[in-house]
Structure 1
C-alpha cells in the first residue's frame, strides 16, 4: 500500500504560485477561483511543445541533477542541483504580462550544506526563440533549450555558487509520460501535459565560493504545463536514474486529506523507449522522517519503492534540503538528491535520484484570484 509519514505542522506551504513585482511592493499570488471549463489537453508534440504555452495557467521547466568535479587545486567536489523556471499566467493576460519565477538550489555534499535562492520573480512577455525551444533570463539566471540541448548560466545573488555555463545534452528521445499522448491524469485536479529528458549528460564550470570547479554529471529535465482544476493536495515524486541505464518517473498524488488519488509512472528503457506503468503495480512507503528546524514540517525521508519486477530503496544524501520562503503566502517543500539501490528482475542495481515532497498545495487553475494583496499593501 502507498503510505507516507509526517506533515504534522502546516505553516505557509508552498503553492507553486507566483509573485508580482509591483512598482512599490511585491504581491503574493494565492488560491484559485471556481473551475473554468476547457478543452482536453492536446497531445504533446516535440519539438514544438518545448516552447511556452500561452493557453496554460501554469508551466515549468525543471532541471535536477548530480555533479562531480575537481577544483584548480585538484580537490574533489560533489553536488546535487536544482534550477527551475516557472511560468504563471496569474493575471490571465498571456502572452503579455506573464509572471516568471526562477528557483535554484545546490546541495554541496562536500561541504555538507544546502543553499537555495529566495523568491526571484519578474513580469515578462511570452517569447519563443527563433527556430523554437525556450530561452529565459530571470533573476540573474539564464536557461535555454532546444532539441535536447540545454544551457544554464548564472547563480545566487551572493555569488556563492555560479554556473559559468552548464551544457546538458540528451542523446535519446524525450520521454512522454502517461502514454504516447504525453498527458497524465491528476485525479480530481484534471490533467497535465508532461515530458522529461531523463538522461542528460552535463558538463561545464561551477564557481564554488569563487573557486572554479570543472564539473560533469547526469541530470533530468521536466517540462510540465496545464490548467488544473482548483483543489488542495500534494504529492511525492521521484526521478530515478539506474546503473543499468534505465530510468523511472514516479508520481504519487494526494488530496487534502493525504489520500492518494492518482499514481503515474513511466519506465524509460536505455534506448529511450517508454512503458506506461500500471498504477496498481506502483507503491512507495516512507522508511523514516525528518523535522525541519526552519518550518517545523515533518517530511517523509527515505523510501521503499515498488515497481514492476522489483523494489528500490531511495535514500536522502542530506536531510536538510527543504525549499522554503519568508513570503507570506509561500510555504515549503522538500526537494533533494538521493541514492538508489535495489533489485530489478533479479538483478542488483544502484543509482541516483531526486525526490520531491509537496506537503500541501493549492492546485493552480487558469486565471487566478488575487488574495492576501490587502494583507501586504493594506488595501
Structure 2
C-alpha cells in the first residue's frame, strides 16, 4: 500500500470511477480524478481535480486547482484537499471522496474487496511517450450520501474502481481508448489502446481477472477492443467520438458491447489543456442482457475522427 501515497514523479494521478444508486433507485455514474503535476524547475506540484457526474437528468462537471502538498499520516496514506474538496486513502483499504459539482454534493466511503491488479507487471512502457507505473483496485464497495441540487440528501450504494499511475508519461503526446469493466460474475477487465497523436497505434494491452483466479495480461492478438457505429460529435471541439464499443476475448468466451449511459460526456480542462470523453457504460452480452458495468475514456486529438 505504500504506492498509494504521492511519488516524486513528473505526473501522477488517482482516478476513481463509480456506479451508484440512491434510495429512490436513481442511478448515477461518477468519475473523480486528481492529477498531481510537478513543475520540473521548481519541483512544486500542482493538483487538479476533475469531476464528472451523470444522472437521468444529464451530465455535470467541475474542475479545481490548488498548489498544495498532500498530507500523509502514515506510509501509504494520502489526503489531498483541492479547494473545499477531499480525496483520501488509508492503507490501500479505504477511501473518501468528498466534493461538489453542478449543484450536487457527495460524501462517499469506498472499501477494497479484492486484491489490486498490476498491469504488465506494474510498469507500462509507452515508448517515446514515457513510462508509467500502473495498478488498479477494481472493486471498491461504495456507500455514502448525495445531496441533490434542490437541497435534499439521499443515501447511495454501489461499486467503484481506482486506477493509480505515476511516472514520466506524457498524456498530451498521445491519444488513447480505455475501458474498465466489472462483470456481474466477478470478472474484472481493463483495456487500453495507445496511439501517437493523430497517428498510428503504439500499444494495445489488457488485464483480466476472473473471480477467484490469478490476473493475466492479454496481448494485442488475444483480444479486440473496437468502436461501434454510433458517433457523438462535440459541438465545441468537433471531435467525433465513437460512443459504443465492442470487446472480444475469444479464449475466455467473452463477447461484450459497452453502451454509454450518457453520450454528451466531453470533459474540457481549462487548467491542464486536455479534452476527453468519459462515460459510464452498461456491459451487454450478445443477447442484449446487461451483465456488468464499466467506464470508457477516449482521449482524442481535437477534431479527431476515427
| Superposition TM-score, scaled by structure 1 size | 0.73
CA deviations over 1:94-122 (Å, ceiling 9, x no partner): 3xx311111111001x22x100003x211
How many residues in Structure 1 have an aligned counterpart in Structure 2?
Answer: 296
CA deviations over 1:235-260 (Å, ceiling 9, x no partner): 00000000111110101001123311
1:106 to 32, 35, 53: 53
* Residue 282 to residue 185, structure 1, CA distance change in 2 (3 Å): farther
Describe how 1:279-290 pairs up with structure 2 within 5 A: 279-287=220-228, 288-290=230-232
Query: Counterpart of 2:65?
Result: 121
How far 1:53 sits from its partner (Å)? Answer: 0.3
CA distance in 1, matches of 2:291, 2:140: 18
2:36 to 84, 87, 91: 87
Query: Counterpart of 1:51?
Result: 5
Matched, 1:324 2:268: yes
Matched, 1:152 2:97: yes
How far 1:272 sits from its partner (Å)? Answer: 6.9
Query: Counterpart of 2:233?
Result: 291
Matched, 1:275 2:216: yes
How far 1:276 sits from its partner (Å)? Answer: 1.1
How far 1:131 sits from its partner (Å)? Answer: 4.1
CA distance in 2, matches of 1:325, 1:58: 16
Q: Would the aligned equivalents of 2:282 and 2:290 in 1 still touch at CA under 8 Å?
A: no
Query: Counterpart of 1:61?
Result: 14
* Residue 129 to residue 264, structure 1, CA distance change in 2 (3 Å): farther
CA distance in 1, matches of 2:53, 2:274: 19
Q: Tell me, what secondary structure is at the counterpart of 1:293?
A: coil
Q: Would the aligned equivalents of 1:172 and 1:272 in 2 still touch at CA under 8 Å?
A: no
CA deviations over 1:127-178 (Å, ceiling 9, x no partner): 432343211100221011122211111213x6x1111x21111121111111
CA distance in 2, matches of 1:195, 1:153: 23
Q: Would the aligned equivalents of 1:176 and 1:196 in 2 still touch at CA under 8 Å?
A: yes
Q: Tell me, what secondary structure is at the counterpart of 1:137?
A: strand
Q: Would the aligned equivalents of 1:325 and 1:332 in 2 still touch at CA under 8 Å?
A: yes
CA deviations over 1:164-195 (Å, ceiling 9, x no partner): x211111211111113xx11222432321001
- Unmatched 5+ stretches in structure 2: none
Structure with the larger RCO, 1 or 2 (CA within 8 Å, 6+ apart): 1
How far 1:268 sits from its partner (Å)? Answer: 2.0
Query: Counterpart of 2:277?
Result: 334
CA RMSD of aligned residues (A): 2.1
1:255 to 177, 188, 196: 196
CA deviations over 1:294-336 (Å, ceiling 9, x no partner): 3221111101112243221111111101111456x72421010
2:183 to 220, 226, 242: 242
CA distance in 2, matches of 1:103, 1:140: 14
| Superposition TM-score, scaled by structure 2 size | 0.90
1:314 to 237, 258, 266: 258
1:77 to 26, 31, 34: 26
Q: Would the aligned equivalents of 1:172 and 1:271 in 2 still touch at CA under 8 Å?
A: no
Q: Would the aligned equivalents of 1:91 and 1:98 in 2 still touch at CA under 8 Å?
A: no
How far 1:342 sits from its partner (Å)? Answer: 2.3
